[in-house]
A and B are shown apart, each in its own frame.
Chain A
Amino acid sequence: MFTLASSDYNAILLSIKVAVTATVLSLPFGFAVAWLITYGRFRGKVALEVMTNLPLTLPPVVIGYLLLLLLGSNGFLGQLLDSIGIRVIFTWRAAVIATAVVGFPLMVRSIRLAMESIDPDLVHAARTLGATRLNAILTVILPLSMRGLIAGSSLMFARGLGEFGATIIVAGNIPGVTQTIPMAIFEYAASPSGDTMALMLCVVSISISIVVLLFHEYLCKRIMRAN
Chain B
Amino acid sequence: MELHIALQKNFGSFTLDVDSTLRGNSIGVFGPSGSGKSTLVSLIAGLQQAESGRIVLNGNLLYDTSRRINVSPDKRRIGIIFQRPLLFPHLNVKNNLLYGFKRSMAGNRTIDFDTLADVLRINHLLDRGVNNLSGGEKQRVAIGRAVLSNPRLLLMDEPLSGLDDTLRFQIISYLKSACEIFAIPYLFISHSILEMRLMTHQVLSIEQGRIIEETTPENLSRICMGLNPAGYVNLLKLALSHQLEDMCVYLWGNTTLFISGKNDQPDLLFELSSKDIILFKRHPEAISARNLLQCVVTGIFESNGKVGIELGCGDERLVAEVVHQVVGELDIAVGSTVFAAIKASAFRRLG
List residues of A whose CB falls within 8 A of some B CB: 119, 121-122, 124-133, 135, 139-140, 143-144, 226-227
* Contact assessment for A140 and B88 in the assembled complex, using a CB-CB cutoff below 8 Å: yes
Q: How far is the CB of B233 from chain A (nearest CB, A)?
A: 32
| CA–CA, A130 and B148, complex, Å | 11
* Contact assessment for B73 and A127 in the assembled complex, using a CB-CB cutoff below 8 Å: yes
B134-155 with Cβ < 8 A to chain A: 145-146, 149
Known: A227-B129, A227-B131. A128 touches B73 (CB 8 A): yes
Which of A122, A128, A226 sits near B79, CB closer than 8 Å?
Answer: A128
* Contact assessment for A127 and B47 in the assembled complex, using a CB-CB cutoff below 8 Å: yes
B37-85 with Cβ < 8 A to chain A: 42, 45-47, 72-74, 76-80, 82, 84
Q: How far is the CB of A55 from chain B (nearest CB, A)?
A: 32
Interface mask (B290-302 → A, CB under 8 Å = 1, otherwise 0): 0000000000000
Known: A125-B86, A144-B89, A227-B90. A130 touches B80 (CB 8 A): no
Secondary structure call for the B interface: mixed
* Contact assessment for B145 and A227 in the assembled complex, using a CB-CB cutoff below 8 Å: no
* Contact assessment for A128 and B104 in the assembled complex, using a CB-CB cutoff below 8 Å: no
* Contact assessment for B129 and A130 in the assembled complex, using a CB-CB cutoff below 8 Å: no
Q: Which residue of chain B is the closest to A225 with respect to CB atoms?
A: B129
* Contact assessment for A125 and B90 in the assembled complex, using a CB-CB cutoff below 8 Å: no
* Contact assessment for B99 and A126 in the assembled complex, using a CB-CB cutoff below 8 Å: yes
Q: How far is the CB of B139 from chain A (nearest CB, A)?
A: 13
B103 interface residue per 8 A CB criterion: yes
Q: How many A-B residue pairs have CB under 8 A?
A: 66
Q: How far is the CB of B29 from chain A (nearest CB, A)?
A: 17
Secondary structure call for the A interface: helix
* Contact assessment for B82 and A125 in the assembled complex, using a CB-CB cutoff below 8 Å: yes
Q: How far is the CB of A146 from chain B (nearest CB, A)?
A: 8
**Residue in B72, B74, B100 with the greatest tally of chain A CB atoms within 10 Å:** B74
Which of A129, A131, A132, A143 sits near B90, CB closer than 8 Å?
Answer: A143
* Contact assessment for A122 and B86 in the assembled complex, using a CB-CB cutoff below 8 Å: yes
Q: Which residues of A contact B99 (CB under 8 A)?
A: 126, 129, 131, 139
* Contact assessment for B74 and A122 in the assembled complex, using a CB-CB cutoff below 8 Å: no
Give me 4 other A-B pairs in contact (C-beta within 8 A), A128-B45, A131-B99 excluded: A119-B86, A124-B47, A135-B103, A144-B89
Q: How far is the CB of B149 from chain A (nearest CB, A)?
A: 5
Q: Which residues of A contact B88 (CB under 8 A)?
A: 122, 125-126, 140
Q: Which residues of B contact A133 (CB under 8 A)?
A: 72
Q: How far is the CB of A128 from chain B (nearest CB, A)?
A: 5
Q: Which residues of A contact B100 (CB under 8 A)?
A: 129-130
* Contact assessment for A128 and B78 in the assembled complex, using a CB-CB cutoff below 8 Å: yes
| CA–CA, A143 and B46, complex, Å | 24
**Residue in A127, A132, A143 with the greatest tally of chain B CB atoms within 10 Å:** A127
Q: Which residues of B contact A131 (CB under 8 A)?
A: 74, 99, 103
Q: Which residue of chain A is the closest to B85 with respect to CB atoms?
A: A125
* Contact assessment for A121 and B82 in the assembled complex, using a CB-CB cutoff below 8 Å: yes
**Residue in B42, B47, B129, B145 with the greatest tally of chain A CB atoms within 10 Å:** B47
* Contact assessment for A130 and B74 in the assembled complex, using a CB-CB cutoff below 8 Å: yes
| CA–CA, A129 and B154, complex, Å | 11
Q: Which residues of B contact A121 (CB under 8 A)?
A: 82, 84, 86
Q: Which residues of B contact A226 (CB under 8 A)?
A: 90, 129
Q: How far is the CB of B200 from chain A (nearest CB, A)?
A: 21
| CA–CA, A121 and B82, complex, Å | 9
20 A-B pairs (CB sep. < 8 Å): A121-B84, A121-B86, A122-B88, A124-B45, A124-B73, A124-B80, A125-B88, A127-B46, A127-B72, A128-B47, A128-B76, A129-B99, A129-B103, A129-B149, A130-B74, A131-B99, A131-B103, A135-B103, A144-B89, A227-B90
Q: How far is the CB of B49 from chain A (nearest CB, A)?
A: 13
Q: Which residues of B contact A128 (CB under 8 A)?
A: 45, 47, 73-74, 76, 78-80, 146, 149
Q: Which residues of B contact A143 (CB under 8 A)?
A: 90
